[in-house]
Amino acid sequence: MSDRLSVLKTYKLYVGGKFPRSESGRVYEVTDSKDRWLANAPLASRKDARDAVVAARKAFGGWSGATAYNRGQILYRVAEMLEGRRDQFVAEVADAEGCSKAKAAAQVDAAIDRWVWYAGWSDKVAQIAGGANPVAGPYFNMSAPEPTGVVAVLAPQESSFLGLVSVVAPAIVTGNTVVVVAAQDAPLPALSLAEVLATSDLPGGVVNLLSGRTAELGAPLAAHQDVNAIDLAGADAGLAKDLETAAADNLKRVLRPGAVDWSAAPGTERLLSFLETKTVWHPMGV
Amino acid sequence: MPITVPAYGKEAAGRLASMADVTADDGALRRFLHGLPGVDAVGLEARAATLGTRSIKTTAKAYAIDLSISMIDLTTLEGADTQGKVRALCAKGSNPDPTDRTAPKVAAICVYPDMVATAKEALRNGGAPEIHVASVATAFPAGRAALPVKLADTRDAVAAGADEIDMVIDRGAFLSGRYMAVFEEIKAVKEACARPDGSAAHLKVIFETGELQTYDNVRRVSWLAMLAGADFIKTSTGKVAVNATPPVTLLMLEAVRDFHAATGVQVGVKPAGGIRTTKDALKYLVMVNETLGEPWLTADWFRFGASSLLNDLLMQRQKLSTGRYSGPDYVTVD
């Protein structure tokens, strides 16, 4: 008897450590590069975005307060979990991007390696972005980087997994919490990443994943008063302009989109984009 | 149906006198309270849940949010209350959203008796003397003190200028069936609410429904308090694990409706504790409208005992007026 009934997977959002359906009850069809149906993904609404921001804000205190060492350990654990699910991600990336298994495998390997690379930054970023400042007075003056807060991330459209990892990992490693809008036409690797995050030691709410229309979700996130920064990697030029205008109203940090080769070494730009500098003056020689 | 009179009005006493036979002695009161129909718990909870499913949007939502704000008894009842904190609360109550002057004022500031004078002065100086000061009294929250102490507590608060007194009933006496003792106590406190000039502070009676065990008890105590002359009946102190819930509030609203049908006396209702979100507040307003109707949809006859609810209402209000989701950075921390 080999004629089993097929068990189809219901992809869901990832908000606050839970897997809810969209509040709106909507879904949309996700197809591969040849327009064959793969799955239905939730079509998140602005209210899902609102809930995700609440979850991210709630998680921020604990995550930003955790020691850098602890954050690094947890992110490394995520990489371990990714490694265990490598085959699943290879299949999903191959479907989503219409590339060969070998090319997809190379992308997944690069993504896992990048996650490990960013995990290592957790207790090193302060040395790069902070330090002791020479001042003309009897003070010890030092600057230390602190996380910006809740970061909205529009994940890149063209690289459904490597690109996603490249924008999420640098934001959370420094202590931010994120609300991620997955690539609109290829959200499945992102939604599967949520399952990995849920089963590693990452506290619920640190990463919240939404799938749906980037423009529909980007607008409320950019205008949201309780979102501190937005990464526009997945927005096209027109949308990016609108979102930047909306974000200016509440002084969000904005990372503009640009042509990025996601397979190239990332550098520290994204890592340093969502940090605030705290400077302390301490009297000396008394 | 008899013509409606407010519970705090002069005519109310006459209406209550028409029920004097049921409060004549212990036995009669017990027979009356135990003769009230039993509560259909499943039906009550289902009804409360159904009324919680209404969708209220756009202009109706804006109206309901403003109405809710104007119904709030903004409360601070902590051992750590300071005069500064009470003054800050008064400032917030009289101008809830500093970024939007169209936001309505709250109905009252609810404090412990020793803070009444501070609150009164802060509201007068802040240009909002129309906001009432409500004071808890009678050994709040436990109510475990001798009657003379409770009465002194009440007179003290009234003398300090309290417009409203929130008393707690003696749950021990009620649960052990000494209904007459509870009845007499409420009457005595009501008398203590009188001012020398002939007016009186309004009396809210707190049942602490989380400690009353059954819905039947809630119905009985509601009638008991209204017969004793309560101007308002209030669910909880906010100091126990179970506070205001929609079914309990619905039950009290129904008791108020039935009491009004029997005597014509209009009594107010105040759910308190555990109401934190705009969504919750709107559910309560729907219940009031469906059970008692529009005459009760004012701050004179329905109140929310809450503190954190106000911030959520303000954030929703900002969302409606600006189109942007607001955040806790844009309302006061308290």
What string of H, E and C letters represents the secondary structure of A129-166? HCEEECCCCCEEEEEEEEECCEEEEECCCCCCCHHHHH
Cβ of A226 within 8 Å of Cβ of B328? The answer is yes
What pLDDT is stored for residue B220 in this prediction? 97
Rounded mean pLDDT, B250-275: 96
Angle between helices B278-291 and B58-70 (to 10 degrees): 90
| Per-residue DSSP letter, B2 | P
Residue A104 lies in a domain: yes
Nearest CA in chain A to B328: A226
Other CB atoms within 10 A of residue B50 CB = 11
* pLDDT for A121 beyond 70: yes
Q: Are B51 and B283 in contact (CB under 8 A)?
A: yes
Amino acid code (one letter) for B12: A
Put simply, the answer to whether A226 touches B323 (Cβ < 8 Å) is no
Q: Which helix (H) or strand (E) holds B306?
A: strand B304-306
Among B105, B156, B113, B104, which Cα is nearest to B134's?
B113
SS (H, E, C) B23-66: HCCHHHHHHHHHHCCCCCHHHHHHHHHHHCCCCCCHHHHHHHHH
Q: Is the pLDDT of residue B2 over 80?
A: no
- Hey, is the C-beta of A57 within 8 angstroms of any chain B C-beta? yes
What is the reported pLDDT for A1?
A: 61
Whether A125 and A267 have beta carbons less than 8 Å apart is answered as no
ipTM at complex level:
0.85
Positive or negative CA dihedral for B177, B180, B186, B192?
A: negative
- Say how many C-beta atoms besides its own lie within 10 A of residue A126's C-beta: 17
Q: Please check the confidence at residue A251 and state whether its pLDDT lies above 60.
A: yes
Looking at the DSSP bridge assignments, the partners of residue A207 are A178
All residues at 6 or more sequence positions from A154 whose CB lies less than 8 Å from its CB, including other chains: A181, A214, A217, A218, A230, A231, A232, A233, A234, A235
Q: Which of B92, B105, B270, B283 is catalytic?
A: B270
Give every CB contact of residue B69 below 8 A, 6+ residues apart in sequence: B96, B103, B104, B105, B106, B310, B313, B314, B317
- pLDDT tens readout for residues A84-99: 999 999 999 999 999 9
Mean local confidence (pLDDT), B203-225: 96
Query: CB of B208 within 8 A of CB of B234?
Result: no
* Rounded Cα–Cα distance for residues A101 and A94 (Å): 6
* Helix, strand or coil, per DSSP, at residue B247: helix
- Looking at the domain B5-323, which fold is it? TIM Barrel (3.20.20)
The total number of structural domains that make up chain A: 1
CA-closest candidate to residue B250, choices B16, B43, B48: B48
Q: Residue A238 is which amino acid?
A: G
Contact A225 B324 (CB under 8 A): yes
Q: What angle do CA A9, A10, A13 make, to 5 degrees?
A: 130
The tokens for A254 are 């904005």
Residue A197's domain is classified under what CATH number? 3.40.605.10
Per-residue pLDDT, averaged over A146-162, amounts to 96
Question: How far is the alpha carbon of A98 from chain B, nearest alpha carbon, in Å?
Answer: 38
DSSP A182: -
Active site residue B163: no
For residue A253, give its domain range.
Answer: 27-283
Q: Can you tell me the mean pLDDT for A73-77?
A: 97
Please say if the pLDDT value at position A286 is more than 70: no
B324/A50 CB distance under 8 A: no
Residue A250 in any domain: the answer is yes
Task: Read off the pLDDT of each residue in B312-326 and give the average, rounded to a whole number.
Answer: 94
Mean pLDDT of B230-249: 95
With respect to residue A251, please indicate whether it lies within any of the assigned structural domains.
Answer: yes
How do the domains of chain B map onto residue ranges? 5-323
Q: How far is CA B330 from CA A151, B152, B317, in A?
A: 18, 42, 12
- Closest Cα in chain A, distance from residue B244 (Å): 25
Give chain B's mean pLDDT. Answer: 95
Residue A162 to residue A108: CA distance in whole angstroms = 7
CB atoms within 10 A of CB A105: 18
> One-letter amino acid identity for B328?
P
Give the number of other Cβ atoms within 10 Å of residue B92's Cβ.
23
Share of chain A above pLDDT 90, in %: 94
Tell me if chain B has a CB within 8 Å of the CB of A249: yes
**pLDDT tier at A3, thresholds 50, 70, 90:** confident
In a domain, A1, yes or no: no
> Mean pLDDT over residues B166-177, rounded?
96
State the Cα–Cα distance between residues B94 and B133, nearest whole angstrom. Answer: 12
Give A282 to chain B, closest Cα distance, Å: 29
